[in-house]
Structure 1
Amino acid sequence: MPLTPEVLTADSEVVAWLGGLDVSFAADDEPWFTIDGLDSPRQVGSDSSGGAFVLLPSQDVLYVSSEGRAGIIAGSFDAFVQLVVARPYWLDILKFSAGGDLAEMRRAADALEATLEDEDDVNEAREEIRARLDLPEPDDPVGALYDAVAASDAIVRATDGSPFTTLFNRFSIDNNPTLRNAAA
């Protein structure tokens, strides 16, 4: 049976573990954005920075940041949960993507993972979620994230009608001393 928001939210322990990875499945207010061609976006979650996770009719998962960036991050709800568990810092991978360079995203993922080595709570959350959901480790979560964002064709707009920009940001881990040192 495929993983759906309803199946996932029926397990309060998994929901709590995912909350530790910065994904909340609490009901949110009216969307503060629109998506071209979609009358009623189905927001299935949010993060602590005010970003929204939207399940599209195609079953893609769209992320809409509170800073005016948006894009598809996963091709299914299953893939979304796998991404969050495998790379809970997925948004930082995009931040340090040097404008959407896959090699730079891989460098960022390695550096970010190195900063988590002693984060027992993150590793425990990963293990618990995978066990409870019988969730496999994705083959290439960074490559899948890159492919989803690069192919994203959803047009998200602020309430004033201005379009959101891509989730790929211009920074590199070389712009961050902690990550630069972790990658060394």
Structure 2
Amino acid sequence: MPVTHEALTANREVVAWLGVLDVSFGPDEEPWFTIDDIESPRQIGSDGSGGTFVLLPSQNVLYVSSEGRAGIIAENFEAFMQLVVARPYWLDILKFSAGGDLVEMRRAADALEATLDNEDDLNEAREQIRDALDLPEPDDSVGALYEAVAASDAIVRATDGSPFTTLFNRFSIDNNPMLRNAAA
């Protein structure tokens, strides 16, 4: 049975574990953005950096950052959960994507994962969430993230009407000494 937002939020233990992965589910806040052709965006959660997760009518999950970037990150809610659990640093993968280069995203994912070796709380949260939701491992979470963001056609606008930019950022792990060393 697919994982749904409603079933997940009814499970307080899983919601608590997701907090360790920097994802929280709370009541909708007053929107600080608009999405073209969507009258009432359904905000389903947020992260610690002020970003918001939105479940679109198509069932895609859209991420809207507090820094003027936005894009679809998963084809549905279950794929979103798979992404967050498999790659809790998914936003950093996009930050170090060298403008949306899949090879760079894979390098970033490997380097970021290597930095988590001693993160027992995070790894326990991943295991607990997978077990509680009977959540399968994604086949290729980085590839799925790349495809979702690359195909994103949602136009998100700030309250002044200016459009948000893509989630792909121009940095590479080579710009970060810690990640560059972790990848070596």
For normalisation by structure 1, the TM-score amounts to: 0.99
Matched with 1:30 is 30
Partner secondary structure for residue 54 of structure 1 = strand
**Alignment length (residue pairs):** 184
What aligned pairs does 1:90-105 form with structure 2 within 5 A after superposition? Answer: 90-105=90-105
In structure 1, C-alpha distance between the alignment counterparts of 2:72 and 2:28, rounded to whole Å: 20
In structure 1, C-alpha distance between the alignment counterparts of 2:75 and 2:161, rounded to whole Å: 26
**RMSD between aligned residues:** 0.5
Conserved 8 A contact 2:96-2:170 = yes
Shift of 1:62: 0.1
Partner secondary structure for residue 3 of structure 1 = coil
1:180 maps onto 2:180 in alignment: yes
In structure 1, C-alpha distance between the alignment counterparts of 2:166 and 2:108, rounded to whole Å: 18
Matched with 2:138 is 138
CA offsets 1:110-140 (integer angstroms, 9 cap, x no match):
0000000111111100100000000000010
Deviating 4+ runs (over 2 angstroms)? none
In structure 2, C-alpha distance between the alignment counterparts of 1:73 and 1:161, rounded to whole Å: 22
1:16 maps onto 2:16 in alignment: yes
1:64 maps onto 2:48 in alignment: no
Shift of 1:29: 1.6
Partner secondary structure for residue 126 of structure 1 = helix
In structure 1, C-alpha distance between the alignment counterparts of 2:134 and 2:3, rounded to whole Å: 10
For normalisation by structure 2, the TM-score amounts to: 0.99
Conserved 8 A contact 2:29-2:43 = no
In structure 1, C-alpha distance between the alignment counterparts of 2:11 and 2:26, rounded to whole Å: 13
Conserved 8 A contact 2:98-2:170 = yes
Matched with 2:149 is 149
Shift of 1:52: 0.3
Shift of 1:2: 2.0
CA offsets 1:54-109 (integer angstroms, 9 cap, x no match):
00000000000000000000000000000000000000000000000000000000
Shift of 1:4: 1.2
Query: 5+ unaligned residues in a row in structure 2: which ranges?
Result: none
